Amino acid sequence: MLKGVAVSPGVVVGRVYKVESILHATEPVTLAAPELVAPELERFDLALTRAGLELESMIQKVESQIGREEADIFRSHLGMVRDPSLRQKVYSLVQSQRVTAMTALQQVMMQYISRFEHFEQQDYFRERMADLRDVFGRIAADLQGLEQQKDPDELPDYGPDPIVIVAHEILPSQSMSLGDQPLGGIVTEIGGGTSHASILSRSRGIPAVTGLPTVSTDVANGDLIIVDGNEGIVLLHPDPETAAAYRKKQREFFDIKHRLVENRDLPAVSSDGTPVELLANINSVSDAETANHTGAAGVGLLRTEYLFLTHPDVPDEEEQYRYYREIVLAMKGKPITIRTLDVGGDKSVPYLGRRVEANPFMGWRSIRLAFEHPRLYETQIRAILRAGVHGRVAMLFPMVTTLEELRFLNRMVDHCKTALTNEGLEFGREVRTGVMIEVPAAAICIDSILRETQFISIGSNDLIQYLTAADRDNSKVSHLCEPLSPAVIRVLMMILDACKRSGMPVTLCGEMAAQPRSFLVLFGLGLRKFSMSPAFVPAIKSLLAHVSTAEAERFAHHVLQLKTSEEIRHYLSDRLHEVSADLEKFDIMA
């Protein structure tokens, strides 16, 4: 039994399928006959050529849309691809050891890593490692395409048991391609509650556990595995009796989940008739379709960074416009809030430059990039405004810290509207702009921010992290990132009270929204708009139907008198059990 971090509730008994990085160390693959060496070298040369052409195109696009300095990183990558010594090293290994070009490329990368490890400057090492992964990954991707192998994300058939993905981590590109696959669960070695694996698993409503450093080496493809996403437990090679007991839990969880979807056409109201808006957090068109299927009233958060993270280079205005338009149309007239680019921290795009930061989550990220790369953000704002012609669109600015930042962003929006008007391009003139409250400084100065924005969205994930000064993806301190802590509850109450006094619309779009115990408190504090992973909308709608406004207010009042997170958790666990014992299965109890 392995104990990790629970990030998506539920139980599954399934079969392991390991998704490995394209440059993950593997056993050497040898060529069956000497006459295969020459064709293998030709394939490697073709992969180098293709990678070089891709980089040339990227250099031109990044330089025109962002700047020459930002394009320089790809010039260095192009130099590495066309370095004769790289070609010579791979050639030598293929010829002398008769291995495939992919195996040779992996071995050459290990040589480079070993060399860089001897540098005393750790920052330099990290920067060069990032460049190496980009360059070697690009060549390897071309090699893999030339091999015409099956899609690495195409899942095998292991019989009646569902597939459980086991990986070191889930990359953005993998999370998008795996989004349409019939997964039963996800287990990763690294990552926390907001990793790509966590977002993918919650959007699909499947159990997931992260933070298990050795799990990839502990299992093989096809092994039986149990994932308990409520308790954060993974069981490897379970005996028949244990497997049978967890299969029973699995059936109970999915029976309830499938039954709850039947409420999608019912209104979201409390037992005494108080209406609530249950919105969806989405990444893609397929997520939008899921949101409609589960009965979401709209989209409270479209994460636009996934378009940038999975794009081969920087998406231009037309590409972004078409992407947003497709999602707006998929929501069939329901409201949709589009968050501007939120990269940095654990999500980086190489064309914005390499910056090694001691505290990346508190560093150069999100809208802070807009001051250095205004053209990048103006392009996105224009695309969002244009998509507003096709539906009820709002634009959300994340990571706002000061009123000066908000004013800068508002001026940028006004400038884009003027430019679109002068160019004769249609845009949504009713597109509202809002601020995501996730920095404590913004929460404390909420009254001044409310005077210069049109709506508020509370990003509880980051707000909790910054309030507690604890990295939510660091297993040593992630226990401090507790949504049911007295400090968090009080700050949320302060924000909600300020919005109520001013009549400002407010939504909470962090993971708290989908956790039944947290929902009871938030509803009791007066919150009436929640945005969550689409899969959890039916469960929260059912919970709402089982509780009255007065009950929830009483729960919240009592919680405000409690002194510790443990007291709050236990109290709300008891209340949730009283209100609806079935819905305990949709909360992370670890």
The catalytic site residues sit at 196, 509
Alpha helix ranges (H) inside 261-402: 285-294, 305-309, 317-330, 374-387
User: Measured between alpha carbons, how far is 275 from 120 in angstroms, rounded to an integer?
Assistant: 60
The residue among 25, 23, 5 whose CA lies nearest residue 189 is: 5
Specify the amino acid at residue 443: A
| CA angle, residues 210, 211, 215, in degrees to nearest 5 | 90
Sheet with strand 183-188: strands edge to edge: 2-3, 233-236, 224-228, 11-19, 163-167, 183-188, 208-210, 5-8
Exposed e or buried b per residue across 281-303, where buried means at least 16 C-beta atoms within 10 angstroms of its C-beta: bbbbebbbebbbebbbbbbbbbb
Q: Are strands 432-437 and 455-458 parallel, antiparallel or unpaired?
A: parallel
* Residue 210 in tokens: 């992260």
User: Measured between alpha carbons, how far is 371 from 64 in angstroms, rounded to an integer?
Assistant: 18
User: Measured between alpha carbons, how far is 587 from 168 in angstroms, rounded to an integer?
Assistant: 25
Find all residues with CB under 8 Å of 143, minimum gap 6, and list them. 43, 44, 47, 101, 102, 105
Is 65 within 8 Å of 379 (Cβ atoms)?
A: yes
